[in-house]
Chain A
Amino acid sequence: DVKVTQSSRYLVKRTGEKVFLECVQDMDHENMFWYRQDPGLGLRLIYFSYDVKMKEKGDIPEGYSVSREKKERFSLILESASTNQTSMYLCASNYHSGSPAGFTDTQYFGPGTRLTVL
């Protein structure tokens, strides 16, 4: 079974703190993604990475940065947390489309981190 794990299920931080969210996948996936999920809105892509040390901005990258030093690990960093970053953060991973493994570019999600910024 594919496994995507996230470092915390629940996190409470104060405004201005630096916050690290970690995601690890065990399927040797090339692609990894960070989304946030808010009530009444679809999943919104923050950043994604298609290879080690590579990153691409998603739809809402402002206030966030990412790091991918190893293939299995993708970190989301909130440089200075603000209350409007209170949200559910979901990490996902998949193979590149066209991978010889066939149709396996389904995104697999971690359990999510519910972050509250006070």
Chain B
Amino acid sequence: GQNIDQPTEMTATEGAIVQINCTYQTSGFNGLFWYQQHAGEAPTFLSYNVLDGLEEKGRFSSFLSRSKGYSYLLLKELQMKDSASYLCAVRDPNYQLIWGAGTKLIIKP
């Protein structure tokens, strides 16, 4: 079957660093996406990994290990506006996205 696991909720402090993990077991793999979703709003694209390694984009980085079925999203210099849910999604060979349930990140001052 298809399974994507993320922690349900995480708490971090403003200015700190947080790592949100995502593990997946899918029948095929054609890339992994991270989306950010603020409460009551649409998901917005953050990052995409298809090869192993780290992709850096400003304060946000995403890592992928295909052999381990594992990805993480790293957020540095946390700001209050980073309080949101972070969704991990794996693209299958048919170019459809399989979504995790999301990780709610709470930032405390």
A in complex with B: yes
Stretch of A13-21, A39-47, A65-73 contacting B (4+ beta carbons < 8 Å): A39-47
Number of chain B interface residues as a range: 20 to 34
Minimum CB–CB distance for A58 against chain B, Å: 8
- CA separation between A96 and B43, bound complex, in Å? 20
Is B99 in contact with chain A by the CB < 8 A criterion? yes
Contacts of A40 in B (CB 8 A): 8, 101
Kindly identify which residue among B33, B40, B95, B99 contacts A42, using a CB–CB cutoff of 8 Å: B99
A9 to B98, CA, bound (A): 25
Quick check: B48 and A103 within 8 Å, CB to CB? yes
Chain A residues whose CB sits within 8 angstroms of the CB of B95 once the complex forms: 97, 105
Interface residues of B (CB under 8 A from A): 4, 8, 33, 40-45, 48, 87, 89, 95-102
26 A-B pairs (CB sep. < 8 Å): A40-B101, A41-B101, A42-B4, A42-B98, A42-B99, A42-B100, A42-B101, A43-B43, A43-B87, A43-B89, A43-B97, A43-B99, A45-B96, A45-B97, A48-B96, A58-B96, A90-B43, A106-B33, A106-B48, A108-B45, A109-B42, A109-B44, A110-B42, A111-B41, A111-B42, A112-B41
